[in-house]
Amino acid sequence: MVTEHRAVAALRVFLVVLFGVLVMFQTFSLPGQFAHMAQESPQDAYLRWPATIVTVFWVLCVQVVIVSTWRLLNLVKNDRIFTEASLKWVDAIVWAIAAGWVVLVGVFLYVGFNADDPGLPLLLFLLTVGVTVLGLLMVVMRALLRQATTLRTDMEAVI
């Protein structure tokens, strides 16, 4: 289908752009931002490296999702999405989301217990709920992919 091929091509372009921007964030923007914050607020300078490590880790989790999505697009292009090979890439997405979620919950709890203003804890709670929904959605999508793969394998065995 022409629309599917165009959508896959457009998605690939945006995945490359997103990956490139994330690499720049990891190497330049995030470390520089937290260094600047440490200079501006010396009382919070002890958070510079933990904040840098956590945010770079979250970006790494997103990069794993991008690479896995790219690999799944290759499987779609080659009409191999309903094979066991696709499940390992979906698993990588689920594990990357889970790892990011665990760290996000830790940050939420740390900030929540130490905050004197409800704004940041509420924002982190919203992000935690959003990442939870995304992770659970991926688990459901993985189950659907597993069922479709099994059905396709069964149908090929009958034919």
Q: What is the pLDDT of residues 67-76, one digit of tens each?
A: 999 999 999 9
Instruction: Check: pTM over 0.95? Answer yes or no.
Output: no
Give the pLDDT score at 2: 65
Alpha carbons 22 and 29: distance in angstroms, whole number: 9
Alpha carbons 114 and 145: distance in angstroms, whole number: 42
Single-letter amino acid code for the residue at 62: V
Give the pLDDT score at 5: 82
What are the structural domain ranges in the chain? 1-157
Alpha carbons 93 and 87: distance in angstroms, whole number: 10
Q: What is the DSSP letter of 118?
A: S
Give the pLDDT score at 1: 56
Alpha carbons 69 and 62: distance in angstroms, whole number: 10
- Distance of CA 5 to CAs 56, 74, 115, Å? 33, 11, 48
- Distance of CA 14 to CAs 7, 21, 128, 151, Å? 11, 10, 25, 32
Per-residue pLDDT tens digits of the chain, which is 159 residues long: 568 888 889 999 999 999 999 999 999 999 999 999 999 999 989 999 999 999 999 999 999 999 999 999 999 988 899 999 999 999 999 999 999 999 999 999 999 999 999 999 999 999 999 999 999 999 999 999 999 999 887 777 887
